Structure 1
Amino acid sequence: MATNSLVDFNTLSPKFRELYAKAKDFVENECIPAEKVFAAQMGQGENRWKVIPPVLEELKVKARSIGLWNLFLGREYGNFGAGLTNVEYGLLAELSGRSSLAPESWNCSAPDTGNMEVFAKYGTPAQQERWLKPLLDGKIRSAFAMTEPAVASSDATNIETNIRREGNEYVINGRKWWISGAGDPRCAVYLVMGKSDAENSNRHKQQSLVIVPADTPGINVVRPMQVFGFDDAPEGHCEITFTDVRVPVENIVLGEGRGFEVIQGRLGPGRIHHCMRCIGKAERALELMIARVTDPSRRTFGKGLAEHGTIVADIATSRIEIDQARFLVLSAARKIDEVKAKGAKKEISMAKIAVPTMLLNVVDRAMQAYGAAGISQDTPLAGFFVRARTLRYADGPDEVHRNQLGKTELRRAAEIVEKMKQQKEKSDQLVAKL
């Protein structure tokens, strides 16, 4: 098997190499050809939120039959997943990013991946039986309800949704938006973040995470939000209100006041799952660009497009940026494998900042090569561009990660100053001997 820029596949497990070969064939020969079928089978009008294109379920059956299923759950989750390392999953996720249909067909799409990790890592046996098992089977879907319109949700301690205990129940009141997956008719459960102890002096202990079945009275899906005109039906990114929504106390995740702890555990690996898929999208965008500019029918000013120096330079720049981004992603994945997500914050932040912007740049160059067709529905480029721009908000905006990364670097200040002081003293001593 070939070397993928930074990883010699021959050094990885035989299990992974077998899965990689299957995944590559599945994406190229099953998922990408099915994309237009999916679009043709989509419902129209209100049916966009009721119809799941049959081709997707067909792909899921095929994928599961060859072992491409729940690949994101690593060794620490026992028999729940495929038991891959983060590096191994990163290489597979890159392939899945090449087609919008691949992640869900493998049961590896957000927000279900993060929610399954929550249930697997923090859920009680009863919670796992009721919710994790059908999610792992791909029978239901889920949503994660955290972001709110009235506060700066990039700081999760700002969340205002109220969770109060009344006897053996929690009562939830609040408004959420950009809740991915909430429009899907298969969405059966929400994980809802809110404040259960607003007076706690520790602002990271004020929040709790509760499990809310989607059919609980008091939940109102107000509207699907549009992203540059895309509604992402049938999943959507919805605005939702919770009005006196009641759930039993056993629906708490991990315990009262531990919501912030849970979401930090949820977001670590998930932050780079998106980045892994971005690499695949960027590779496909570059391939589309190369195919376009080498099409003999595409000529401007007496030359083929590929004969223009600006086009050649753009291709080279995209190649460099993709490989740089892949290095950051695989470096973060390797660090998570070594010291868990908490010890890999620096590497995760660097990947999360750099990779979506890289994808935006690569796709933008490909769009330019396609002319007006590049922003039309005739290529996947417009969809790639929108998803890349969205990821600069999702799982923490760029500014939050830059701030965290900058603070991490500044913690080295004392060590750096002391080293420079010692170097100066040694230099002064050497000069004095002249």
Structure 2
Amino acid sequence: MSSNEKYLNLLRDLVALPSVSATHRCLPETAQILAKTFRQLGAHVTYDDTYFAPFILAQFKSNIPNAQTLVIYNHYDVQPAEPLSLWQSDPWTLTQRDGKLYGRGTDDDKGNITARLTAIEEYLTDSNGHLPVNITFIIEGSEESSSQHLDEYLNKYKNQITADLIVWESGGKNIDDVVEIFGGNKGIVTFNVDVQTAQTDLHSSLAGVVDSAAWRLTQALATLFDNDGHIMVPGFYDDVAIPNSREKKLVENLPINSQTLIQQHGLTAKLLSDKTGNDLKETLYFQPTLNIEGIQSGYLGDGVKTVLPAVAHAKLEARLVPNMLPDKTLHQIKQHFQNEGFSDIVVTKTLGQPGYRSDMSDPEISRVINITEKYYHQKPVVMPTSPGTGPMYYIHEALDAPIASLGVGYANTLDHAPNENIRLTDYNQHIAVIKELIRSYEK
């Protein structure tokens, strides 16, 4: 059996485990399989299950004195698969069709793990077991839940880890099929907003004199934005890190525009950047966001139930750019509700982490860019950050090394959505690029 087949079988086993960190499902089982795999490949493995999502530190040592160290960060947890009815095949069964692999975690992030394992085993086979660079895998199990306890794990093992370059968990190709390399991501603070206006739901005939929880909540949420989509929380933008001229130039050159965004996602509502008049690219990459993830109140079943809801709940998030602190941002939002006359609104933090941006001119990031360009015979798209969120801040604080993100994905990978998938071509190309990256450290 080839290394490629071996680790595709591993990917099948990993996808079969619904390792959803939001519900703490199958996390130790998944981590144990990975720890065993790394040991079989010859790594020194530290397995730590102090917290609910076990942490794996797998270190491959070079026999070259003073060899540099490449750190690869990945995570084994995944998003829930719901709504299950929208999947064309079982989300927990790796399914191949039309040159693609379908299943929850194929891209985010289990397919990236198995591709990188394949690259290391193939390189070790070709080089009689010798590596020109130390390779350390940092693998956590709560990335999809704001990397809870990752900072504690990193602090515990920081004296055992050094890094010259960090390869991030994932990445891929854009809508033009050009590889993207980015070196930053936004932070986040997520929170619940709750209100109760009566002991129980009331008869809706009282709606003329009694304020319902549903109206109370939606009126409070409506104060967060003006009619043009500007966030109205005082102080919300005070700490936003201003991008430098190089960062602005990199983002300015990105191929994304309003039309491609609308077509790719089938958007029907007007873009907020069109309403505010702000630049789409700078807003997407360099500005914070405030989003309602979901709202629940009253009766939503079949037929009609004439009630006046006593309780209303909402889940919200704010995506943060560097310099913004989760707790400070949440305090500003709480204070805003108070100032707007909604002292009865209860705001409860659920998760939070800061954002980070890399210096994309660092020589080690240039190494990744040059290898990628040589392999694909095409310049990659280089971005100082991404609109998404991840624990780059924690990793950089612990290791103080540049971060470059690339992986097995493509524009229609559908991360976090039904029918998540990767193309086998991209998967195999990423294996080759990681092997070339390892080879670049040969003296």
Judge same fold: TM > 0.5, yes or no: no
More strand by share: 2
**Structure with more relative contact order (C-alpha pairs < 8 Å, separation 6 or more):** 2
TM-score range normalised by the length of the shorter chain: under 0.3
When normalised by structure 1's length, the TM-score is 0.25
More helix by share: 1
When normalised by structure 2's length, the TM-score is 0.25
